[in-house]
Structures are given as structure tokens and as C-alpha cells.
């Protein structure tokens, strides 16, 4: 077991982390898009010997200046209940030096949410209430597991849908609880709601930039991702 356990919400996120980077597969686990599942997965990694935790994957942009493909290195995670859980400062600082070599990087607060932030108004409201630049559905679960075990954690997330992007229902319908895409379900949704195709195509383009950013983050940050501060 590596020194650090990495939790992702989607299989595609884990693939970007593992692809060609020489990272041990047993250090990376796909939880699915859920804080409860992410916390349970993080606890399993800790039980297997991990001494630190990483939440890695995509995020929704809340701040209007954040565009698709920008990497957010969270300074802290605010939970839906308002708890603020800080990431490990020294580890984060060391990693930031390398991540900046790979592209745009923002160190900022991230909001944990239990449901997808779908619309522009929802994103604006969450920005106002949380002060977070971005949001995801797994990081607060990882943060809670880290706090319970008294181990450090960091969060590396790439913006996939900017603040002005509305998530089409087709994208939400297609994601399975295990973090994989149900393509049959996606096709059926589009056949019944063809008007969502344009929004889905736009999201796919933005997600391409986000996944490319994750791949660069894994490559440039490889040395520090798996060694806690």
C-alpha cells in the first residue's frame, strides 16, 4: 500500500491519474459520486495502511472567473452543515509548486455538496453561502475520514462545468453509483429528450479540458501526490 490513498468519484478520474504515471493501483479507489461512499472508501484505504488522503477528480465551478480546465487545490473544504476542514498546508504548498508547471492553478475553498449543483442560480447561491470557488460531491467525505483518523488530506480538482454552465439531466442520468457511465441509459435519455444533446455536447467539450488538466496534474504532481506532508 502506498503512503497515500486517493479517492475519486468516477472511474474516468482514476484512469487519468493512473494512466502512464507509474502510480500504484492499490493507492487509488473509485467511490462513486457520494460523500458517504467517499468516506467509506477513504476509511478502507486507511485501514489498508494509507497515512494520508487525496480527493482527486472533477468539480463544478462556482466563481464566475473559473473556466473549464482550471485546477483547484483546496485550502479547505466546507461541508453542507457548515463545518470547515482545512487541508494540510505544507503538503499542499509543496504540491502547488509542481502543479503550476502544468497549467492554471487556484488555491481556494471548496464546497462539499450532497447533490449535483445543476443550474446557474444554484451555483451562484452556493458561492454566496459558502465562499467556495468550486464544489464536488466527494471531498467532504474524504475530509471527514481524514479528521476521524487524524491524518492529513488534500484536494485536487479540475473544473468541468463552469458557473455559467447548466448540467443537462442526461449527464446526471448516465452516471452510475459505482462511478461509471451507463451509456445505454444515456442514449435512452437523449432519444426521449433530444433537446439536451446540445448542452451535453458543450459539457463534453468542457470535460475534455478538465480531464486533460487532471492528467497534467497527475504527471506534474506525481512526486508529491503520494507522499503526505
For residue 129, is pLDDT > 70? Answer: yes
pLDDT at 91: 95
* Residue range 84-122, pLDDT digits in tens: 999 999 999 999 999 999 899 999 999 999 999 989 999
Mean pLDDT, residues 173-184: 68
For residue 222, is pLDDT > 70? Answer: yes
For residue 49, is pLDDT > 60? Answer: yes
Of residues 198 and 180, the one with the higher pLDDT is: 198
pLDDT at 89: 95
pLDDT at 223: 76
Residue 64: count of CB within 10 angstroms of its CB: 13
pTM, full prediction: 0.90
For residue 15, is pLDDT > 80? Answer: yes
* Residue range 183-202, pLDDT digits in tens: 777 677 767 777 776 777 77
d(CA 112, CA 57): 13
pLDDT at 24: 80
Mean pLDDT, residues 204-218: 91
Q: Which three cell numbers stand for residue 216?
A: 497534467
Confidence of residue 182 (pLDDT cuts 50, 70, 90): low
Provide the mean pLDDT of the chain: 89
Nearest partner of 154 among 81, 229, 82, 92, judged by Cα: 92
pLDDT at 93: 95
Pair 140, 133: CB distance under 8 Å: no
Integer-rounded Cα Rg, in Å, for the chain is: 16
CATH topology of domain 4-225: Rossmann fold (3.40.50)
How many residues make up the chain in this entry?
Answer: 229
pLDDT at 22: 67
Q: Which has the minimum average pLDDT: 46-60, 106-120, 210-224?
A: 210-224
| In the chain, where the domains are located | 4-225
Q: Rounded to 5, what percent of the chain is helix, strand, coil?
A: 45, 20, 30
Mean pLDDT, residues 161-188: 75
| Neighbour-count burial for 34-43, b at 16+ CB within 10 Å, e otherwise | bbebbbbbbb
Amino acid at each position: 500500500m502506498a503512503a497515500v490513498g486517493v479517492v475519486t468519484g468516477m472511474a474516468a478520474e482514476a484512469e487519468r491519474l493512473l494512466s502512464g504515471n507509474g502510480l500504484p493501483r492499490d493507492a487509488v479507489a473509485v467511490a462513486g459520486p457520494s460523500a458517504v461512499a467517499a468516506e467509506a472508501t477513504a476509511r478502507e484505504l486507511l485501514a489498508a495502511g494509507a497515512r494520508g488522503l487525496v480527493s482527486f477528480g472533477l468539480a463544478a465551478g462556482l466563481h464566475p472567473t473559473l473556466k473549464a480546465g482550471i485546477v483547484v487545490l483546496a485550502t479547505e473544504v466546507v461541508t453542507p452543515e457548515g463545518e470547515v476542514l482545512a487541508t494540510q498546508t505544507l503538503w499542499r504548498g509543496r504540491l502547488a509548486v509542481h502543479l503550476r508547471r502544468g497549467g492554471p492553478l487556484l488555491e481556494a475553498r471548496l464546497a462539499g455538496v450532497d447533490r449535483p449543483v445543476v443550474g446557474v442560480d444554484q451555483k451562484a447561491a452556493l458561492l454566496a453561502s459558502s465562499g467556495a470557488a468550486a464544489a464536488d460531491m466527494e471531498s467532504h467525505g474524504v475530509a471527514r475520514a481524514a479528521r476521524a483518523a487524524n491524518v492529513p488530506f488534500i484536494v485536487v480538482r479540475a473544473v468541468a462545468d463552469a458557473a455559467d454552465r447548466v448540467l443537462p439531466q442526461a449527464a446526471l442520468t448516465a452516471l452510475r453509483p459505482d462511478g461509471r457511465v451507463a451509456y445505454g441509459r444515456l442514449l435512452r435519455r437523449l432519444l426521449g429528450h433530444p433537446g439536451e444533446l446540445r448542452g451535453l455536447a458543450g459539457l463534453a467539450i468542457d470535460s475534455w479540458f478538465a480531464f486533460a488538466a487532471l492528467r497534467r496534474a497527475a504527471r506534474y504532481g506525481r512526486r508529491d501526490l503520494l507522499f503526505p506532508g
